[in-house]
Chains A and B, each alone.
Chain A
Amino acid sequence: MSEIYELRVNGVDYPVTADANRNLSGVLRDELGLTGTKEGCDDCECGACMVLLDGQPINSCSYLAAQAQGREISTVEGLMDRDEMHPLQTNILECGGVQCGFCTPGMLMSAHALLERTPEPSLEEIKVGLSGNLCRCTGYGTIFEAVAAASKVEKVEP
């Protein structure tokens, strides 16, 4: 049974026509064409589908799209500020934290949420904050460095 509603993603309102049982990652990817959000496990475990809902990181594979009505959804496509990459994006490039890149969007969204919540995280807080995002290529060291470096960058900004 299709429902018609609106989703606000990265500050843009999108009309949606989709069955009530559709998950948010599926609607973002298949209905809105926002394929930056990845699906790696369908099970709330890998974090590739991480998006922010009013700033809180959620696994969008396990969240009903219709429930996100009236809330602010942030995806990796909205991380760039006009033509400027977010410091997390530039740092993960510089640190070599991208290999296959499948985990990268989810990793960036978790890190973004962490730094919004805790601008000066301890090293342990970074690890715990990203422990819901699996990466099979990098062994995490370079991603950790990128987030640690971004937290310093964000500290000096007003």
Chain B
Amino acid sequence: MTDTSAGSTTTINPPATGVGNSVDRPDASAKVLGSFEFSNDLNHERMLWGATIRSPHPSARIVSINVAPALAIPGVAAVVTHHDVPGSPVYGLISHDQPVFASDVVRYQGEPVAAVAADHPDTCRRAMVAVEVVYEVTEPVVDLLTAATAKPVHPDGNVVRRVPIRFGDVDAVGDIVVEGTYEMGMQDQAFMGPESGMAVPAAGDGSIDLYVATQWLHEDRDQVADCLGLARDDVRIHLAGTGGAFGAREDVSFHVHACLLAQHTNRPVKMQYRRDESFLGHVHRHPAHMTYRHHATNDGRLVKVECDIVLDGGAYASSSFAVCGNAARFAAGPYKVPNAVVNASVVRTNNPPCGAMRGFGAVQVCFGHEAQMDKLAAALDMDPLEIRLLNALETGDRLITGQILDGVAPVRECIEAAAAFPLPPISGNDVFDQPGGAGRTADPLAVRRGVGFAVGFKNAAFAEGFVDDTHARCRLENGQVTLWCAAAEVGQGFVTIVRQIAVSTLGTDRVELMRASTADIGSAGSTSASRQTYMSGAAVLKACEEVAEQVRLAIAATHDVAPELVTIEGGRARTIDGRVDVIVADAIADVRFEAELRHMHRETYPLDEETGQGDCDVTWIFAAHRAVVDVDVELGLVKVVEVTTGQDVGVALNPLHVIGQIEGGISQGVGLAVMEEIITDVGLVRNPSFTDYLLPTMVDMPDVRITLIEQPEEGGPFGAKGVGETPSLSSTPAVAAAVRAATGLELTRVPIKPQDIALG
């Protein structure tokens, strides 16, 4: 053991790239140069291309499948069907109910029936047409309100989950009661980089490597291994460059198909979905039907919230269990609600499967409870802000699950911050300032301005007793820090903040985060539920702190001082006599310090099945939004002029990237409010393209003004909370409220379409 600082008294300050600084992403340079390798850039000299043959019907019996004509095409190397699945024939995120390949029936349009590997994508396309599948079409179940009692879509039945909540006096009655029924359409995550990856069979031992854009490597591994009939260690999942996710990559898509094709051909197989296939090949946001009844006193205090929620889960369960739980728990919004009666359910239909999307479950009910709060304010002749502030949740309040909200809860601060920005000036008469986007067809005389508010909340991290863990390893050797964590980087910036955490604890920016892989470390859990900064950030912090502690003890031994006389703070190690004062990473050379650990949040508990009561959540995240819109009331065109927000972030580890999350989340909220919907017609998707499924462009995006509400959260690294989902919660209802204010229409469904206004 040598000491590089022996005899030195020079003070070296850690670099200013630690937590709290808006440092660049480590992968950003490669991304602007075009050299960053995304999953669909993967290439291998021996690779084949894979493609999926899908059902054109939402409901049908499979009479026969004949792959022989496809196999006869030169260049086709393999065609696989359900006969070729050696392990479990089904997979799924929470319950294993979805076939790798349909065998007897298909339950949604786009359900995989077979997969082909060939020398070229064009050969694949010819083979896809050549596979003969004979279907006997059956009547699909498509109506979410009658699905529970319709013919079974699946052997597991048509109700995936029911969550009742009974809180307080269920018979309580308010002085005033307002009712409403609200609907939300099916939103698509629409990440820019379609599903893609490559399966590479290992020589000789039957194991396999899958490079894939995903949100949850270890969950993928477990599902893939089970379907392949392999031991879990014989499947290695490596994160490939991921072009966004937003919930749609939490489920397995082509993973098993590519592995089967690679095994059958003993060659690497690359698969990538086209955009129309991507629309059919991943889960979407659950459409919702919600009936609310709010009771309040004459002075505006909430007395009781009653709510019936039905979510359309589509053909397979995916994460519907969790989505339904969220919808029920957050149905009343971030308010003091002494009594509640909630019945939430998620049903199976032959519509596209639905699962995770940013804010899952909480987004749907936020649209409902916020419309109700405005209705209540109107009935009581109160200001929409005033009624929200009067009822705002605070730390120490009891939620409708009976759980005490014991974390930071700056609801009032969020509302006041969103409202504090001055209102934007009235838009000019310039054609560009008018509603209508690129169409620019609005008549200025018909344009009305509206302002709307909304507040939302949800939990962060996994709830209801789920074993939610994450692993991290930190190694320090000769000034170089190496980190391992299998958290999927999907664009959100985990790769940036873990480096900042290492800088702040070990004092150096010589930090390398290894590629996320199941081969190197245990699970980090999913990049979802706003949990990676909170969970894996905390794990990396603990691992770095453990290494710093090892260094502290080594300094004590080397310099022959008592350990308590050596301090480590802010990445610097010092002895009390001043003989040592260096950054931690440089304190001791030629020794490898290493720490690996598993981090879990505090225990959570399931909800009682009869009453929905239980301490089921870890931490909560809050935001408020104010939207300003201009609406051409004759043509029904909406221009969202501005969205302001106050968002609870705990502590912003990288303010610039927190703002990036907020602006991105608001753009998806604006899209859901006035543009985005997957249109289905008797189970068939009618708009699987960006020509017909409209995303906000730069022209459609409003000005966004943000106040970060920073109140440190216990349990988060450096006080940080998750920030990803929050901006998607109340931005949609704020825009809807603003359009209501501009038009005087009730507008109970999002997305609001021009005809809802023009013909309303």
Residues of A within 8 A of B (CB): 19, 29, 33-43, 45-46, 48, 75-77, 79-80, 85, 89, 92-94, 96, 98-105, 108, 124, 126-128, 130-144
Check if B28 sits within 8 Å of A40, measured CB to CB. Answer: no
Check if B667 sits within 8 Å of A98, measured CB to CB. Answer: no
A-side contacts of B32, CB under 8 Å: 76, 85, 89, 92-93, 98, 101, 104-105, 108
Q: Which 4 A-B pairs have the closest CB atoms?
A: A36-B34, A100-B491, A101-B31, A139-B663
If the complex has contacts A93-B24, A136-B190, are A128 and B244 also in contact, measured as CB distance less than 8 A? no
B-side contacts of A92, CB under 8 Å: 32
CB distance from A84 to the nearest CB of B (A): 12
CB of B246 within 8 Å of the partner chain: yes
Most chain A CB neighbours (cut-off 10 Å) among B276, B493, B664: B664
If the complex has contacts A45-B690, A131-B699, A136-B246, are A76 and B660 also in contact, measured as CB distance less than 8 A? no
Further 15 A-B residue pairs, CB within 8 A, beyond A93-B28, A137-B192, A142-B656: A36-B33, A42-B275, A45-B689, A79-B34, A101-B28, A101-B243, A133-B697, A137-B491, A137-B660, A137-B664, A138-B667, A139-B662, A139-B664, A141-B704, A144-B698
Q: Which B residues, 643 to 681, have Cβ-Cβ distances below 8 Å to chain A?
A: 656-657, 659-660, 662-668
Check if B667 sits within 8 Å of A139, measured CB to CB. Answer: yes
Q: How far is the CA of A40 from the CA of B698 in the complex (A)?
A: 17
Check if B491 sits within 8 Å of A43, measured CB to CB. Answer: no
Pick from B25, B246, B695: contact of A134, CB under 8 Å: B695
If the complex has contacts A43-B691, A139-B667, are A127 and B31 also in contact, measured as CB distance less than 8 A? no
Most chain B CB neighbours (cut-off 10 Å) among A35, A39, A42, A99: A99
B-side contacts of A29, CB under 8 Å: 41
Check if B33 sits within 8 Å of A93, measured CB to CB. Answer: no
Check if A36 sits within 8 Å of B699, measured CB to CB. Answer: no
Q: How far is the CA of A43 from the CA of B687 in the complex (A)?
A: 13
If the complex has contacts A41-B690, A46-B690, A93-B28, are A99 and B698 also in contact, measured as CB distance less than 8 A? no
B-side contacts of A124, CB under 8 Å: 432
CB of B88 within 8 Å of the partner chain: no
Q: How far is the CA of A140 from the CA of B55 in the complex (A)?
A: 37
CB-defined A-B contacts under 8 Å, sample of 7: A38-B243, A43-B689, A45-B691, A75-B34, A134-B695, A136-B667, A140-B667
Q: How far is the CA of A38 from the CA of B194 in the complex (A)?
A: 10
Q: How far is the CA of A104 from the CA of B656 in the complex (A)?
A: 17
B-side contacts of A94, CB under 8 Å: 24
B-side contacts of A131, CB under 8 Å: 438, 697-699
- Name the CB-closest residue of B to A43: B689
Q: How far is the CA of A39 from the CA of B242 in the complex (A)?
A: 13
Pick from A79, A105, A136, A139: contact of B191, CB under 8 Å: A136
CB of B274 within 8 Å of the partner chain: yes
B-side contacts of A126, CB under 8 Å: 698
Check if A101 sits within 8 Å of B663, measured CB to CB. Answer: no
Q: Which secondary structure dominates where chain B touches chain A?
A: loop
B 242-271 binary contact with A (CB < 8 Å = 1; else 0)? 111010000000000000000000000000
Check if A139 sits within 8 Å of B666, measured CB to CB. Answer: yes
CB distance from B438 to the nearest CB of A (A): 6
B 167-194 binary contact with A (CB < 8 Å = 1; else 0)? 0000000000000000000000111111
Check if B699 sits within 8 Å of A142, measured CB to CB. Answer: no
CB distance from B273 to the nearest CB of A (A): 10
Q: How far is the CA of A43 from the CA of B692 in the complex (A)?
A: 11
CB distance from B38 to the nearest CB of A (A): 6
Q: Which B residues, 1 to 55, have Cβ-Cβ distances below 8 Å to chain A?
A: 22, 24-25, 27-29, 31-38, 40-41, 43
CB of B701 within 8 Å of the partner chain: yes
Check if B38 sits within 8 Å of A43, measured CB to CB. Answer: no
CB of B492 within 8 Å of the partner chain: yes
Check if B657 sits within 8 Å of A96, measured CB to CB. Answer: yes
Most chain B CB neighbours (cut-off 10 Å) among A36, A128, A144: A36
Q: How far is the CA of A79 from the CA of B31 in the complex (A)?
A: 13
Check if B656 sits within 8 Å of A136, measured CB to CB. Answer: no
If the complex has contacts A41-B275, A42-B274, A139-B666, are A100 and B660 also in contact, measured as CB distance less than 8 A? no
- Name the CB-closest residue of A to B688: A43
CB distance from B674 to the nearest CB of A (A): 15
Pick from B22, B35, B657: contact of A36, CB under 8 Å: B35
Q: How far is the CA of A77 from the CA of B143 in the complex (A)?
A: 50
CB of B78 within 8 Å of the partner chain: no
Check if A76 sits within 8 Å of B33, measured CB to CB. Answer: yes
Most chain A CB neighbours (cut-off 10 Å) among B41, B243, B691, B698: B698
Pick from B194, B244, B691: contact of A100, CB under 8 Å: B244
B-side contacts of A102, CB under 8 Å: 38, 191-193, 243-244, 491
CB distance from B223 to the nearest CB of A (A): 24
- Name the CB-closest residue of A to B192: A102
B-side contacts of A80, CB under 8 Å: 33
Check if B33 sits within 8 Å of A77, measured CB to CB. Answer: yes
Most chain B CB neighbours (cut-off 10 Å) among A35, A76, A98, A137: A137
Q: How far is the CA of A79 from the CA of B34 in the complex (A)?
A: 10
CB distance from A149 to the nearest CB of B (A): 14
Q: How far is the CA of A24 from the CA of B31 in the complex (A)?
A: 21
Check if B38 sits within 8 Å of A38, measured CB to CB. Answer: yes
